[in-house]
Amino acid sequence: MNTHTLLTTPAWQVLQHLYKTHASKLDVRALLQKNLSQTVHMCISAPEMVADLSRNLLDTSIIAALNQLARERGVEAMRDDMFHGQKVNVTEQRAALHYLLRWPDENTHTALQKQSHDVPAQVAQSELAFKESSNAPLNVPSNLQSTLQDVLKTRSAMLAFAESIRQNAHITDVVNIGIGGSDLGPQLAIQALDAFRLGDNPADHKFQPKRFHFVSSLDPQELMSVLRQVRPQSTFFLVASKSFTTLETMTNARAAKAWFLAEGGTDVARHFVALSTNTQAAADFGISTCFGFWDWVGGRYSLWSSIGLSVAIAIGAKHFQDMLAGAHAMDQHFASTPLERNLPVQLALLDVWYRNFHGMGSRCVAPYAFGLRRLPAYLQQLEMESNGKRVDQQGRAVPYRTATVVWGEPASNGQHAFFQMLHQGTDVIPVEFLVVKQPSPNLPSYMAQHHPDLLANALAQAQALTQGVTSSLGGRDVTAHREMPGNRPSTTLLLDVLTPNSLGALIALYEHRVFVQATLWGINPFDQYGVESGKKIAQQMVEIIKGNSVIDLNADDSSKKMFSMLGKNSDSG
């Protein structure tokens, strides 16, 4: 990577100058009025989606300087390093090869192309299909060929297994036990792809779709509330953990196994499956079927691996492959589209512009699609665990801010909660609207009729944030209380329809955006040492709380006070 620190790159100086001279006073309303061609230019197509960036605090000079910044920070070289299998995860000395997990299997690829007539008509007619032309297609370099063969072999075994469970009418419930990346991705995907659970094949329809449950919390209330709804003989447990040591997951897995046996369940081996890189630990737990993956898959990038087994059971092998294909199309876009039209790059540049120049501390994610209701939580892990870092790749403290707070709720619920603050609060918070053009397939018409309202609300909120309501704009009787300043930035990501392909593309878009943010900031997005310390302290504290020990030499005075309020002795009593 370029050895210039971020702050001394020429492009940074230009951006600072632009910010001081005019960018901080930029009024998007004026730009939208006078320059339709620029507005059109600010729509970027990528696989399965179009992004409208025209409501952002940008003009052509700022965009040019941001793109220059990407060049000076070596975004293209870092991206190519990742796609060539270099050890871009410098602290753990590993490559980051999650994109290999969605590499098409040439054998199934042709079959899938032949099956394209199976997709619902509305999906096939997608107007937002991959329109953006690319430079050169992505290839797997020779050093990664054997890894790819491993990936394809594991995928095909996992998908065959998923189909067997999917078609097993005796299994009515699937419980995924996992946390973080071993929970959020599968949960998001199963909710988002609910319409695809029955499959295209009418033969599948004779089976009732299974119920899917997710257990992640250490609080047993969550596990208990799931176990109350299921029976051992018809339930299938997936213990999803890359490390197979995570406290929450192991505790819940042990409790689920105890419940299974106590409730008369027989044959743990048939009802429990592990998804892990730690096959030995899974075997020690008593699980004989384990689908593995690799240490080069970060937990928050693992949806595409065996961790996605619950998704494959829910939507079937073909739709799972479609999800991978959507993500792969986004990989191609990222790898080969010029920076100026490269959507992950443009979104990451915008993030840096708002974070480091405008000082904005958060971004609101507003999916106007119920299926995407876990997207904000998913992105919290992806962005904040990846880029919540304070030192650069060489371990030097960075003199600028990094990851922003990501938060949100599915709208229009958010409109009835926090949108007030977005419109009139003292903080300016960029909003990301996720809008799906077509209603979810298979809805009765009286429900599909909700969709125009949903679309109108998304569009209306975006416009209201931009335009505001001010007396200076001719609004009569606009008192200070009713005034909305406007000029509040937002981006709209428009999907044609929520399908396995578009969901895959969307998630891969965010993965690459986070990678580009990290490259611009010079930090490593692939480790997460920050979460370790608290876990270690908890191991000592639990001994005090259980009464096994009265001495915690590392407890500080505040913790000692809490021990005492909990009626537990520590060294100070």
Binding segment toward ligand F6P, per CB under 6 A, in 226-234, 239-247, 456-464, 492-500: 239-247
Q: Which residue's CB atom is positioned nearest to ligand F6P?
A: 299
Query: Torsion angle, CA of 361/366/372/374, rounded to 10 degrees?
Result: 40
Asked whether position 538 contacts ligand F6P by CB under 6 A, the answer is no
Name the catalytic one among 20, 22, 205, 535.
535
Rounded to whole angstroms, the maximal C-alpha distance in the chain is 74
Q: Is 492 in the site for ligand F6P (CB under 6 A)?
A: no
Partner residues linked to 10 by β-bridges: none
Among 528, 541, 563, 568, binds ligand F6P (CB under 6 A): 528
Total residues binding ligand F6P (CB under 6 A)? 14
H/E stretch holding 365 reads: strand 362-368
Helix axes 309-336, 75-83, angle to 10 degrees: 130
Name the residue among 329, 399, 371 with its Cα closest to residue 5.
399
Residues 555, 542: contact at Cβ < 8 Å?
no
Least separation in angstroms between CB 76 and ligand F6P: 28
Does residue 385 have an active-site annotation? yes
Closer residue to ligand F6P, CB minimum distance, 294 or 419: 294
CB of 165 to ligand F6P, least distance (A): 21
Both structure tokens of 14: 């230009």
Contact segment (CB under 6 A) with ligand F6P among 139-147, 178-186, 386-394, 501-509 equals: 178-186
- The nearer residue to ligand F6P, 120 or 388, going by C-beta atoms, is 388
**Part of the chain binding ligand F6P (CB under 6 A), chosen from 73-81, 159-167, 174-182, 472-480:** 174-182
**Identified catalytic residue from 153, 416, 536, 561:** 416
Of the candidate residues 210, 242, 355, 512, the single one contacting ligand F6P (CB under 6 A): 242
| Shortest distance in whole angstroms from residue 248 CB to ligand F6P | 8
By CB under 6 A, residue 300 contacts ligand F6P: yes
| Residue burial 11-48, b: 16+ Cβ < 10 Å; e: rest | bbebbeebbeeebeebebbebbeeeeeebeebebbbbb
Q: Does residue 412 have a cis bond before it (omega within 30 degrees)? A: yes
> Which residues have a Cβ under 8 Å from the Cβ of 222 and sit 6 or more positions away?
215, 216
Q: Is 224 in the site for ligand F6P (CB under 6 A)?
A: no
Answer yes or no: are the C-beta atoms of 282 and 290 closer than 8 Å: yes
Question: Which of 385, 425, 435, 390 is CA-nearest to residue 405?
Answer: 385
Among the listed residues 45, 54, 134, 249, the single contact to ligand F6P using CB under 6 A: 249
Which stretch, 59-67, 91-99, 237-245, 514-522, contacts ligand F6P (CB under 6 A)? 237-245
Rounded to whole angstroms, the Cα distance separating 236 from 210 reads 10
Q: Binding residue for ligand F6P (CB under 6 A) from 47, 232, 299, 376?
A: 299
| Residue owning tokens 């005075």 | 557
Q: At what angle do helices 220-227 and 247-262 cross, to 10 degrees?
A: 30
Taking CB under 6 A as the rule, does residue 102 contact ligand F6P?
no
Structure tokens at 230: 């299921």
Query: Residue from 62, 101, 140, 179 that binds ligand F6P (CB under 6 A)?
Result: 179
DSSP three-state, residue 177: strand
- Whether the CB-CB separation of 72 and 349 falls below 8 Å is answered with no
77 vs 281, beta carbon nearer ligand F6P: 281
* In the complex, minimum distance from the CB of residue 158 to ligand F6P, in angstroms, rounded to a whole number: 16
Number of H-type helices and E-type strands within the chain = 23, 11
Which residues between 184 and 223 bind ligand F6P (CB under 6 A)?
none
Q: Is 525 in the site for ligand F6P (CB under 6 A)?
A: no
Does 531 engage in binding with ligand F6P (CB under 6 A)? yes
Q: Residue 432 catalytic?
A: no
Least spacing, CB of residue 298 vs ligand F6P, in Å: 7
Q: Is 181 in the site for ligand F6P (CB under 6 A)?
A: yes
* Beta carbon of residue 386, minimum distance to ligand F6P (angstroms, whole number): 9
Q: Which of 243, 393, 470, 559 binds ligand F6P (CB under 6 A)?
A: 243
Nearer to ligand F6P, 252 or 440 (CB): 252
Select which of 48, 248, 383, 385 is catalytic: 385
How many CA atoms does the CB half-sphere of 111 hold within 13 Å? 10
CA–CA dist 251, 273 (Å, integer) = 16
Which residues have C-beta within 8 Å of that of residue 131, sequence separation ≥ 6?
Answer: 45
| 180: contact with ligand F6P by CB under 6 A | yes
Which of 344, 338, 422, 336 is closest to 383 using CA atoms? 344
Q: What is the DSSP string of 378-419?
A: HHIIIIIIHH--SB-TTSPBPSS--PPEEEE--TTGGGGTTH
180/408 with CB nearer ligand F6P: 180
Kindly tell me which residue out of 246, 306, 310, 491 binds ligand F6P, with binding defined by CB under 6 A.
246
Q: Which is nearer to ligand F6P, 278 or 346 (CB)?
A: 278
CB 163 within 8 A of CB 316: yes
Of the residues 45, 67, 182, 490, which one makes contact with ligand F6P according to CB under 6 A: 182
Stretch that binds ligand F6P, among 180-188, 201-209, 392-400, 513-521 (CB under 6 A): 180-188
Closest CB 304 distance from ligand F6P, rounded Å: 14
Asked if 306 is part of the footprint of ligand F6P (rule: CB under 6 A), the reply reads no
List contacts with ligand F6P (CB under 6 A): 179-182, 241-243, 246, 249, 299-300, 385, 528, 531
Q: Which residues are annotated as catalytic?
A: 385, 416, 535
